[in-house]
């Protein structure tokens, strides 16, 4: 499912999966540190940094050096980034609705429970290899 959405984001918006994940987290959280984004996306520091640089180069996020730590950054969506998220979120919700219609409520709850359990059992490194989609 994630790969299908990632392919759509890349084709329609030129975003790779880590870039979209960073944008989505910033949309939800506002101004955030790099460490906060890492924790909320389960991406490693290098992937978040690469995604942030690409997003900043495209004018989708703004990054400033943290006043309390010159090694860190604060990030937030720019108006252009907010506009792109506003375009993408309805697509993601439509896709989720489509998937929910395929399964019964019982099947959906079972799938959700199983995925939650599996995700909790895996470390971020276990799934990191394909996060560049």
Convert the pLDDT of each residue in 91-130 to its tens digit: 888 888 888 889 898 998 898 899 888 878 876 555 444 4
Convert the pLDDT of each residue in 1-24 to its tens digit: 777 877 888 888 999 999 999 999
Task: Note the CATH number of domain 2-122.
Answer: 1.10.10.10
Q: Using alpha carbons, list the distances in angstroms from residue 108 to 33, 105, 114.
A: 34, 5, 10
Dihedral in degrees, nearest 10, Cα atoms 126, 127, 129, 130: 160
Q: 31, 38 in Cβ contact below 8 A?
A: no
Residue 74: phi, psi to the nearest 5?
-105, 140
Domain-wise residue ranges, the chain: 2-122
Convert the pLDDT of each residue in 49-102 to its tens digit: 999 999 999 999 999 888 887 777 899 999 999 999 999 999 888 888 888 889
CA distance 110 to 11: 32
């Amino acid at each position: 499912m994630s790969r299908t959405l990632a392919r759509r984001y890349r084709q329609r918006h030129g975003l790779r999966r880590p870039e979209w994940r960073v944008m989505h987290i910033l949309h939800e959280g506002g101004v955030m540190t790099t460490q906060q984004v890492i924790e909320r996306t389960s991406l490693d520091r290098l992937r978040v940094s690469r995604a942030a640089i690409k997003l900043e180069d495209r004018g989708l996020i703004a990054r400033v050096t943290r006043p309390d730590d010159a090694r860190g950054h604060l990030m937030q969506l720019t108006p252009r980034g907010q506009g792109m998220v506003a375009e993408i979120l309805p697509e993601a919700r439509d896709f989720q609705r489509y998937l929910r219609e395929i399964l019964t409520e019982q099947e959906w709850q079972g799938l959700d429970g199983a995925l939650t359990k599996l995700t909790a059992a895996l470390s971020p490194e276990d799934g990191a290899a394909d996060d560049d989609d």
